[in-house]
Amino acid sequence: MTTLTLFYDSRCPLCAAEMRRLAQLDRHGRLAFSDMHAEGFDAARYGVTMAALDAELHGLDDQGRMLVGIDCIAAAYTAVGRAWLVWPLTIGFTKPLWRSLYRWFARNRYRASEMMGFTCADGVCATRYR
């Protein structure tokens, strides 16, 4: 029973690694993963643009709501039984800070991938955000 479909950037090594991690933690099949760079993927089908998907992680829940950024991250970790790892993201008065930090990180995810030792395929990290 899938409760959340995550739309992720497979060209970002750090992002792809995080999706693999979530998949390993997902013992009850609550998450589905959709690569926004897969052939035939159409963002418009979900009511979003590729630019929006590129800017922040998106997830479609089983109620048909599109969750974005930290709300999506919190929902994903909650779905796999690890809400305790992301509970600070859910505290109302801290959300603006977390959203700003996440958006900065998302804009710099290719650099972060390189800095964390991930190997970027096809020179993607070298050409993005430089």
pLDDT of residue 108: 83
pLDDT of residue 129: 41
Tell me how far CA of residue 47 lies from CA of 6, 22, 111, in angstroms.
14, 24, 29
**Which residue numbers in the chain have pLDDT < 50?**
127-130
Return the SS3 of 96. helix
Q: Whose CA is closest to 70, among 46, 87, 48?
A: 87
The encoded tokens of residue 41 equal: 């993927």
- Average pLDDT over the chain, rounded to an integer: 88
pLDDT of residue 97: 95
pLDDT of residue 77: 97
Q: 117's torsion region: left (phi>0), alpha (psi -120 to 50) or beta?
A: left
Return the SS3 of 22. helix
pLDDT of residue 120: 63
User: Model's pTM, two decimal places?
Assistant: 0.85
Note whether 60 and 34 are within 8 A (CB).
no
